[in-house]
């Protein structure tokens, strides 16, 4: 199987470190608002990846986090006059409901950031001891100049990183920093913010350290696949690499896999732009299978624009497939359906092995439907996580 590694930006052979085990970590949500189609695209893609790896015989350990303490949550909690924990719990439950409705298999471990705070403190202590972390006025920073590979994943220059940092909630002008791109490992809690005791006073963790700590705690020092949306490459994943590799002295991630953004009305679908298509709204009108088909009809590395028209067209294709499968309910399946010599199976695995070419697989499903091959159709449909009614 070949997969595109964002680190190095090339297609490579997928060879996990300890087969048949595969370790996957995917950055999860910050629970302060509803799940939109962009979220669904990322998590449905990784759902298909984990299902396909299992189909190929791998034992998958998949961890996903919930960033349940964060500037956005605290801001929103104040806005709606709710306790930040209650707010996080509420939106986490809504997210899980949406994922279940879309037939997304839960990860092996779904972990809340606030459960791993002792581990984060332990890592930060080591980073300071190693001379790559420093404390100023109750804040602790990672000194990026001490990590020569900083910028390797995003392949960006200092001026580009400065712009992105501002755009993504960072503060290059923070006077406590030695260098504008240094990032927070620990931040002093302000006013009435929630806090945890630490050697640097009352505070809370920085965003990036959460994922490094949870990976270390649940999967180990090195993992096979680290995923997330493309917008997480810088600063989030770049910073995760710096702190994790400084902490362990080992290579952190073998394959970086990033899912493209979904566009709507000509722009990236984003909370800040207000152009969101909510999963719960789509589910009122369309089935989970139709939404999954829409998402998988795009390759995960190509940005695409959502339109209602396209969704309608997809809906009729899905209905055709469901009719063919449904009509074949009473057929007894040939026992050699999983036989490797089957051409249809070869075709399916060939396409999936090319960096998960789901758009071509779906076209093939339509061909199977039109040529009335329900058994094959059903099997592939199931592997891709579609519901069989």
Sites for Zn ion among residues 297-316 (CB under 5 A):
none
Least distance in Å: CB of 25 to Zn ion?
A: 8
Nearest in space to 49 (alpha carbons), one of 213, 220, 226: 226
Beta bridge partners, 133, equal 142
Joined together, the tokens standing for residue 347 give 């075709």
Residue 141: which H helix or E strand, with range?
A: strand 139-142
For position 102 contacting Zn ion by CB under 5 A, the verdict is: no
Joined together, the tokens standing for residue 372 give 């009335």
Least distance in Å: CB of 63 to Zn ion?
A: 11
Joined together, the tokens standing for residue 180 give 């504008």
Query: CA 161, CA 211: separation in Å to the nearest integer?
Result: 20
Least distance in Å: CB of 43 to Zn ion?
A: 14
Residues binding Zn ion: number (CB under 5 A)? 2
Nearest in space to 326 (alpha carbons), one of 265, 377, 275: 377
For Zn ion, which is the closer residue by CB, 229 or 374?
A: 229
Least distance in Å: CB of 296 to Zn ion?
A: 24
Nearest in space to 259 (alpha carbons), one of 214, 293, 294, 298: 298
Q: Which of 27, 111, 269, 384 binds Zn ion (CB under 5 A)?
A: 27
For Zn ion, which is the closer residue by CB, 35 or 290?
A: 35
Angle at 94 between CA 228 and CA 186, to 5 degrees: 50
Least distance in Å: CB of 99 to Zn ion?
A: 17
| Only segment of 22-30, 144-152, 168-176, 380-388 that touches Zn ion (CB under 5 A) | 22-30
Least distance in Å: CB of 120 to Zn ion?
A: 13
Q: How far is CA 358 from CA 5, 321, 355, 363, in A?
A: 17, 16, 9, 9
For position 29 contacting Zn ion by CB under 5 A, the verdict is: no
For Zn ion, which is the closer residue by CB, 27 or 288?
A: 27
Q: How far is CA 376 from CA 64, 203, 330, 333, in A?
A: 32, 56, 15, 10
For position 185 contacting Zn ion by CB under 5 A, the verdict is: no
| Only segment of 19-27, 111-119, 158-166, 362-370 that touches Zn ion (CB under 5 A) | 19-27
Q: Which of 120, 164, 184, 211 binds Zn ion (CB under 5 A)?
A: 211
For position 66 contacting Zn ion by CB under 5 A, the verdict is: no
Strands 203-205 and 183-188: antiparallel
- Name the residues that contact Zn ion, by CB under 5 A: 27, 211
């Amino acid at each position: 199987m070949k997969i595109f590694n964002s680190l190095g930006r090339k297609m490579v052979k997928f060879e996990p470190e300890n087969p048949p085990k595969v370790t996957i970590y995917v950055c999860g949500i910050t629970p302060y608002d509803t799940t939109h189609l962009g979220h669904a695209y990322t998590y449905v893609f990784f759902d298909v990846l984990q299902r396909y790896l299992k189909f190929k015989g791998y034992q998958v350990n998949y961890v996903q986090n919930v960033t349940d303490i964060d500037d956005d949550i605290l801001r929103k909690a104040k806005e709606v006059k709710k306790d930040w924990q209650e707010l996080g719990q509420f939106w986490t439950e809504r997210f899980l409901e949406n994922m279940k409705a879309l037939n997304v298999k839960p990860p092996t471990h779904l972990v809340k950031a606030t459960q791993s705070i002792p581990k984060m403190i332990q890592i930060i202590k080591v980073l300071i001891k190693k001379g790559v972390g420093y404390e100023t006025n109750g804040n602790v920073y990672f000194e990026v100049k001490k990590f020569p590979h900083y910028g390797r994943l995003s392949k960006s220059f200092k001026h580009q990183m400065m712009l992105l940092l501002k755009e993504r909630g960072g503060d290059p002008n923070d006077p406590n920093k030695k260098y504008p791109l240094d990032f927070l490992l620990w931040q002093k809690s302000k006013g009435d913010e929630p806090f945890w005791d630490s050697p640097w006073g009352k505070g809370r963790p920085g965003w990036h350290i959460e994922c490094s700590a949870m990976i270390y705690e649940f999967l180990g020092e090195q993992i096979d696949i680290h995923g997330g949306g493309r917008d997480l490459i810088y600063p989030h994943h770049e910073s995760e690499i710096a702190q994790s590799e400084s902490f362990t002295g080992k290579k952190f991630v073998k394959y970086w896999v990033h899912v493209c953004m979904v566009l709507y009305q000509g722009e990236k679908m984003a909370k800040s732009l207000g152009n969101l298509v909510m999963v719960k709204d789509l589910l009122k009108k369309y089935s989970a299978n139709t939404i999954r088909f829409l998402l998988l009809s795009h390759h995960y590395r190509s940005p695409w624009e959502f339109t209602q028209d396209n969704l309608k067209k997809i809906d009729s294709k899905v209905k055709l497939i469901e009719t063919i499968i449904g009509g074949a309910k009473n057929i007894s399946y040939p026992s050699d359906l999983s036989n490797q010599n089957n051409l249809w199976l070869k075709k399916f695995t060939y396409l999936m092995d090319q960096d998960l070419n789901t758009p071509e697989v779906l076209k093939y499903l339509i061909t199977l439907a039109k040529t009335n091959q329900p058994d094959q159709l059903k099997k592939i449909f199931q592997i891709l996580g579609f519901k069989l009614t």
